[in-house]
Amino acid sequence: MRVLTGLDRLLASDLDALRGKRIGVVCHQASIASDLHHILDHLLLGHQQGRFSIGSVFGPQHGIWGHTQDNMIEWEGYRDPRTGLMYHSLYGEHRKPTPMMFRDLDLIVVDLQDVGSRYYTFIWTTFLTMEAAHELGLPVLVLDRPNPIGGMAVEGSGIEADLQSFVGWRSLPHRHGMTIGEAAQLFRAREFPHLDLQVIEMEGWTRRMHWPETGLHWALPSPNMPTYDTALVYPGGCLLEGTQASEGRGTTRPFEIFGAPYVNGSEFCASLNEAGLPGAHFRPVQFQPTFQKHFGEVCEGAFLHVTERDAFRPVLTGIAILQAFLRYHPNEFRWQVPPYEYVYDKDPIDILLGARWLREAVENQTPLAQIEERFRAEEAHFRAEAERIYPD
């Protein structure tokens, strides 16, 4: 049985929640229904029939249609020639919608596909949209979608207040285990208790499901998230963005492939495999990035295969990879320099790790078991908070 997303259920209700309203729609290229048609194509029919009106459309990082490739590549709004609608950018001059953008709207509809990691900026676009709507007294309707890597596992540490950024606007574990609708409920409970928030929940989704069990088609939510497998390794693989090693951007399998020109792939993989990381196997590869770090250079490194997804600990695996780079290539390996996601005064790795103790643990080669023990305490604290807000 195929899972019905919040969008599918809204369509099945004949768009009743939108009747008579002037709406703003926050969406991107993965905002598709089970029939593979985009939310805007579905809503335009009701708009043209006069059942409701679409006032404006808002797009997150990478644009509504995923046309911007990398981090910190902004896009600006425009009037869409096909529909005549105004498309506002929430990853350009503004990341939080302005009162002018929300002028004359009655309802904000959010339909974004998240991938389950706090670095992925779509939950923070949702947060800032909620904040702007709260300030203006506008209701928000979130159309829920699956967490592609499941809703059971939570992993990692929270974020120190002075390390918050657009890849961690508020404190969450690296792998948060929430759907975007659950994240919205958490944000309301924490900061916007008077916001009129409605979440149209999914039908048929359970927390143990990963994307392959949903029966849904994968649409790239961003250019470097080509597959479900990418999302599965991303909570750890994204940490390589805080280094000058390649996280595989410029290849067809970013975050699964990683390395650098100075790496001996066979030796590097052997050392990582000897670490006995659960559910992970590293296979030596060579690759030549077609853009971004080490563009045009032949790199050696690893392809990370997830052999047991329920045992796999992506964040701990990412920590192990960083420690291996520091251990075997101390003279060549470097942390990336600012800016990163508009933070100019802190190292990107600190922004991504979110906690200074964790950077110290990486650099001091702290045993993974000790890091995992500290993770467990922070994970338990977050689980307790989450269970109060969206109990199963």
pLDDT class for 71, splitting at 50, 70, 90? low
* DSSP conformational letter for 243: B
Q: What is the pLDDT of residue 1?
A: 72
Domains and CATH numbers, the chain: 6-214 (3.40.50.12170), 228-354 (3.90.1150.140)
Amino acid found at 359: R
Distance (Å, whole) CA 282 – CA 271: 9
pLDDT class for 106, splitting at 50, 70, 90? very high
**Residue range 119-164, pLDDT digits in tens:** 999 999 999 999 999 999 999 999 999 999 999 999 999 999 999 9
Please say if the pLDDT value at position 390 is more than 80. no
Q: How many residues does the chain have?
A: 392
Q: Count the neighbouring beta carbons within 10 Å of the beta carbon of residue 22.
A: 15
| Strand-pair category, 53-59 with 22-27 | parallel
Please say if the pLDDT value at position 5 is more than 90. yes
- Find the mean pLDDT for residues 365-392: 93
pLDDT class for 72, splitting at 50, 70, 90? low
pLDDT class for 31, splitting at 50, 70, 90? very high
Distance (Å, whole) CA 220 – CA 228: 9
Instruction: Check residue 155 and give left, alpha or beta (phi > 0: left; psi -120 to 50: alpha).
Output: beta
**Residue range 36-65, pLDDT digits in tens:** 999 999 999 999 999 999 999 999 999 899
**Residue range 338-363, pLDDT digits in tens:** 999 989 999 999 999 999 999 999 99
List Cβ neighbours of 255 (8 Å cut-off, separation of 6 or more).
Answer: 224, 230, 233, 234, 237, 238, 240, 247, 248, 304
Please say if the pLDDT value at position 392 is more than 70. no
Q: What is the pLDDT of residue 167?
A: 96
Q: What is the pLDDT of residue 68?
A: 77
Q: What is the greatest pairwise CA distance in the chain? A: 65
Q: What is the pLDDT of residue 389?
A: 87
Distance (Å, whole) CA 208 – CA 336: 36
> What is the pTM assigned to this prediction?
0.97
**Residue range 172-192, pLDDT digits in tens:** 999 999 999 999 999 999 999
Nearest to 97 by CA among 189, 41, 25, 145: 25
List Cβ neighbours of 326 (8 Å cut-off, separation of 6 or more).
Answer: 333, 362, 363, 365
**For residue 293, what are the CA distances in angstroms to 182, 230, 288, 325, 360?**
35, 18, 10, 16, 25
Give yes or no for a contact between 157 and 358, defined as CB atoms under 8 angstroms apart: yes
pLDDT class for 67, splitting at 50, 70, 90? confident
Distance (Å, whole) CA 273 – CA 281: 6
Long-range contacts of 306-309 (CB under 8 A, 24+ apart): 306/229, 306/232, 306/233, 306/279, 306/280, 307/279, 307/280, 307/281, 308/278, 308/279, 309/210, 309/232, 309/279
Give yes or no for a contact between 196 and 184, defined as CB atoms under 8 angstroms apart: no
* DSSP conformational letter for 41: H
Give yes or no for a contact between 259 and 246, defined as CB atoms under 8 angstroms apart: yes
**Residue range 222-242, pLDDT digits in tens:** 999 999 999 999 999 999 999
Nearest to 49 by CA among 24, 15, 26: 15
